[in-house]
């Protein structure tokens, strides 16, 4: 019985030992867009840097509204007691010791303005986090669309190579039998080489897209990525109301949020500059010690006198100009965002119309033309050049369909980046 238990345990260990590597091998990311976005949100270093910057700026808000630290001054006077003793630094042994506690007090409202201004800048920094994320997410969406386009192009060209290879062999046989000119055999070889060259280019571009995507995910560039799944279907561009989308851009775009926060910060900076017309105060309380007792108390009030009117007016003019500059910058940004939205909607509509025309008209016609040309070549009714032209038209139609799908996905990613949300 003991041997049976040991044997069973050994078998179980071997089975588990063989299963562990299999379980440890997780499928690489890349198939689903949502998975890539989740990984980027967790690992992208640019986004992490923006988050830390936002945290640092948020931490500045509380100190901006705090009073400066008080200062303590200690003055030891008559440390030799008019020559009656050796110099000493002990307060009770000198002639007298004066302690001065000093506190600077800004004019009423200045600290509140500084704190509010710092808070607005912190909000702008927080908007920069969202701006960075939308940029990263948009690049991932575009790269995923490019990967799908390249993956399908590789598949298409591989199929064409498999199609043209036997045709090239047939052309060689027909030329050897005197049934076709040598030019047909050469044309077939040229076409096959062209397809193989395109296939190599697509493979290289696919590897480059994978490397760029890995960089956004903070993964080594050479790590494998899963083949992309089919892209999500798109709403008809004509069904996307331009006025509604423009309103959503103005309401949700984080770049506009950031500029609005900067405008508010500039307004507060202007108000703070105008408050510099009034003086800041310094209060001091000064007890004086003689021997071991406090014998005198002093109170001091100090204030700066705002006499440099030319300097202050120049600073006020600077604050006003900076405010107008920020407002103009926001207006220019809003105009640019709305123009980009209109441009992308028009391009999305054009890409969808192109894809429909290719799918419903050009591609079926090209397929019929190629089938007819193939049958005619096999029967000796058509020459090889006509067959290759038909094959090339079919290849271009399929490639045009993929290109239109890619263009639509890229434009959709740009629109979602402008909206600050997914459609």
| Three-class secondary structure assignment of the chain | CHHHHHHHHHHHHHHHHHHHHHHHCCCCCCCCHHHHHHHHHHHCHHHHHHHHHHHHHHCCHHHHCCCCCCEEEEEEECCCCCCCCCCCCCHHHCCEEEEEEEEEECCCCHHHHHHHHHHHHHHHHHHHHHHHHHHHHHHHHHHHHHHHHHHHHHHHHHHHHHHHHHHHHHHHHHHHCCCCCHHHHHHHHHHHHHHHHHHHHHHHHHHHHHHHHHHHCCCCCCCCCCCCCCCCCCCCHHHCCHHHHHHHHHHHCHHHHHHHHHHHHHHHHHHHHHHCCCCCEEEEEEEEEECCEEEEEEEEEEECCCCCHHHHHHHHHHHHHHHHHHHHHHHHHHHHHHHHHHHHHHHHHHHHHHHHHHHHHHHHHHHHHHHHHHHHHHCCCCCHHHHHHHHHHHHHHHHHHHHHHHHHHHHHHHHHHHHCCCC
Angstrom distance (rounded) from CA 237 to CA 347: 9
- What's the pLDDT tens digit per position in 349-375? 999 999 999 999 999 999 999 888 888
Residues 6 or more apart in contact with residue 320 via CB below 8 angstroms: 270
Q: Where are the domains of the chain?
A: 41-67+106-419
- What's the pLDDT tens digit per position in 37-85? 999 999 999 999 999 999 999 999 999 999 999 999 999 998 888 888 8
Looking at CATH, the fold of the domain delimited by 41-67+106-419 is given as Outer membrane efflux proteins (OEP) (1.20.1600)
Please check whether residue 202 is in contact with residue 159, taking contact to mean a CB–CB distance below 8 angstroms.
Answer: no
| pLDDT in single tens digits along all 423 residues of the chain | 444 444 444 444 444 444 444 434 578 888 899 999 999 999 999 999 999 999 999 999 999 999 999 999 999 998 888 888 888 888 888 889 999 999 999 999 999 999 999 999 999 999 999 999 999 999 999 999 999 999 999 998 888 888 877 776 766 666 666 656 667 677 778 888 888 899 999 999 999 999 999 999 999 989 999 999 887 777 666 677 889 999 999 999 999 999 999 999 999 999 999 998 899 999 999 999 998 899 899 999 999 888 888 888 999 999 999 999 999 999 999 999 999 999 999 999 999 999 999 999 999 999 999 888 888 877 777 777 788 888 889 889 999 999 999 999 999 999 999 998 887
Please check whether residue 54 is in contact with residue 122, taking contact to mean a CB–CB distance below 8 angstroms.
Answer: yes
pTM higher than 0.85 for the full model?
no
Task: Give, in order, the Cα–Cα distances in Å from 354 to each of 178, 243, 362, 407.
Answer: 44, 24, 10, 10
DSSP assignment letter at 239 = G
Please name which of 328, 318, 403, 315 lies closest in space to residue 358, comparing C-alpha atoms. 403
């Amino acid at each position: 019985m003991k041997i049976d238990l040991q044997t069973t345990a050994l078998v179980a260990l071997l089975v588990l030992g063989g299963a562990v590597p299999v379980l440890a091998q997780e499928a690489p990311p890349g198939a689903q867009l949502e998975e890539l976005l989740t990984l980027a949100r967790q690992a992208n270093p640019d986004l992490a840097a923006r988050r830390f910057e936002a945290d640092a700026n948020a931490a500045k808000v509380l100190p901006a509204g705090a009073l400066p630290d008080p200062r303590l001054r200690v003055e030891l006077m008559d440390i030799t007691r008019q020559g009656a003793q050796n110099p000493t630094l002990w307060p009770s042994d000198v002639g007298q010791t004066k302690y001065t506690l000093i506190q600077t007090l800004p004019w009423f409202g200045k600290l509140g303005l500084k704190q509010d201004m710092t808070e607005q800048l912190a909000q702008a920094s927080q908007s920069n986090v969202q701006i960075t994320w939308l940029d990263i997410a948009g690049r991932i969406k575009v790269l995923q669309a490019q990967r799908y386009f390249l993956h399908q192009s590789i598949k298409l060209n591989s199929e064409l190579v498999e199609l043209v290879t036997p045709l090239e062999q047939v052309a060689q046989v027909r030329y050897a039998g005197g049934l076709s000119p040598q030019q047909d055999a050469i044309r077939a070889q040229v076409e096959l080489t062209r397809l193989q060259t395109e296939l190599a280019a697509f493979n290289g571009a696919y590897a480059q897209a994978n490397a760029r995507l890995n960089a956004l995910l903070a993964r080594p560039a050479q790590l494998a990525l899963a083949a992309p799944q089919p892209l999500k279907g798109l709403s008809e561009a004509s069904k996307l109301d331009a006025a509604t989308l423009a309103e959503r851009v103005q309401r949700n775009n984080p770049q506009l949020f950031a500029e609005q926060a900067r405008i508010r910060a500039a307004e507060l900076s202007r108000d703070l500059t105008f408050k510099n017309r009034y003086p800041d105060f310094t209060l001091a309380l000064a007890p004086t010690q003689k021997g071991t007792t406090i014998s005198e108390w002093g109170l001091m009030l100090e204030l700066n006198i705002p006499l440099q009117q030319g300097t202050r007016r120049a600073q006020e003019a600077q604050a006003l100009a900076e405010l107008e500059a920020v407002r103009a910058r926001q207006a220019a940004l809003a105009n640019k965002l709305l123009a980009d939205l209109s441009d992308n909607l028009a391009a999305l509509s054009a890409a969808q119309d192109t894809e429909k025309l290719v799918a419903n008209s050009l591609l079926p016609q090209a397929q019929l033309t190629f089938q007819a040309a193939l049958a005619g070549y096999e029967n000796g009714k058509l020459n090889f050049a006509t067959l290759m032209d038909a094959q090339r038209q079919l290849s271009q139609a399929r490639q045009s369909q993929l290109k239109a799908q890619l263009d639509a996905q890229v434009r959709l990613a740009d629109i979602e980046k402008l909206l600050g949300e997914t459609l």
